Amino acid sequence: MLPNRWNLPDLGFGVGLRSVHYDYILENFPPVDWFEVISENYLSQGGYSFYALEKIRERYPIVTHGVSLSIGSTDPLNFTYLERLKRLADLMDTPWVSDHICWTGVNGRNTHDLLPILYTEETLGHIVKRIRTIQDFLGRRVVLENVSTYVEFAASTMPEWEFIARMAEDADCGLLLDVNNVFVSAFNHNFDAKEFIDAIPADRICQYHLAGHTHKGTHIIDTHSDHVVEGVWELYRYAYSRSGGRATLLEWDEDIPSFEVVHAEALKARAYRDNAHAEGAGSGSAIVSTQKSEQQLLHAFANEYD
């Protein structure tokens, strides 16, 4: 087990903050470890959303997670956006600032999609330079997430995992490993998810993401609309056995159930983490014992809410 190289905190098991849960959280202050917020929803620092966030910030650690950095775009960096992001990060005292390894638009147009990158030396040099600039500007560690993809460039000269590992080393940035995204892309592009995870420098992983997806038979869509599937939990346990204690976050963005259901899903991760600690990667008996402790954990969780 390796600590991350900057000793950034393991915040425990968090939930992505969504507006449908504001009232519940503000009335009940549930026993969740931390929240991740979509940065763009709070940049204006106004309205009920920001009021709710400020109240929540008084009780819980907050990490900002952006969707507009567009690190892979050829457009110049948007310093107006970065200034607003810095202000929000400072206000929330977020331990790191995260976004995605993708591009979202070009020529000033935002597609609002996390688009795949061409994995070449030229792209690598371009992105590394931009990450270094952003990290200096924000004065915080930038932590970047692998995305789910459905198409890839035939002109890529290296696999995604090699690109991410080299990018992190050359830019000296952190990584947010979304194990559901690894699972989704592995199925869509027919690669070995564990080979991906093995290539990622564990000491640069600062955070994990977990989420549900929609299996369409021929491909998987990263919908964040359901419970986490067993294969993703197993991949999380595998990744965790390499990295040890890292902040873990459950994302649920469509067909969002009650807060208790989302939080219970996040807490299942604890059982897989404990199992990774106890047995190490690759044990065939891991899943059986994990399921037992997961049940125990859910009972404990129910008691916490009583």
Which positions lie near Fe ion, rule CB under 5 A?
178, 209
Q: CB of 122: closest distance to Fe ion in angstroms?
A: 26
Mapped to the 3 state alphabet, what secondary structure does the chain carry?
CCCCCCCCCCCCEEEECCHHHHHHHHHHCCCCCCEEEEHHHHCCCCHHHHHHHHHHHCCCCEEEECCCCCCCCCCCCCHHHHHHHHHHHHHHCCCCEEEECCEEEECCEEEEEEECCCCCHHHHHHHHHHHHHHHHHHCCCEEEECCCCCCCCCCCCCCHHHHHHHHHHHHCCEEEEEHHHHHHHHHHHCCCHHHHHHHCCHHHEEEEEEECCEECCCCEECCCCCCCCHHHHHHHHHHHHHHCCCEEEEECCCCCCCHHHHHHHHHHHHHHHHHHHHHCCCCCCHHHHHHHHHHHHHHHHHHHHC
Q: CB of 209: closest distance to Fe ion in angstroms?
A: 4
Q: With respect to Fe ion, which residue has the nearer C-beta, 43 or 177?
A: 177
Q: CB of 145: closest distance to Fe ion in angstroms?
A: 5
Q: CB of 197: closest distance to Fe ion in angstroms?
A: 15
Q: With respect to Fe ion, which residue has the nearer C-beta, 21 or 65?
A: 65
Q: With respect to Fe ion, which residue has the nearer C-beta, 25 or 182?
A: 182
Chain-centre distance of CA 36, in angstroms? 9
Q: With respect to Fe ion, which residue has the nearer C-beta, 235 or 286?
A: 235
Q: With respect to Fe ion, which residue has the nearer C-beta, 14 or 286?
A: 14
Q: CB of 70: closest distance to Fe ion in angstroms?
A: 16
Rounded Cα–Cα distance for residues 60 and 220 (Å): 34
Radius of gyration of the chain (CA): 19
Q: CB of 181: closest distance to Fe ion in angstroms?
A: 6
Q: CB of 221: closest distance to Fe ion in angstroms?
A: 14
Q: With respect to Fe ion, which residue has the nearer C-beta, 135 or 248?
A: 248
Q: With respect to Fe ion, which residue has the nearer C-beta, 33 or 178?
A: 178
Q: Residue number with the shortest CB distance to Fe ion?
A: 209
Please say whether the dihedral angle defined by the alpha carbons of residues 55, 57, 59 and 60, taken in this order, is positive or negative. Answer: positive
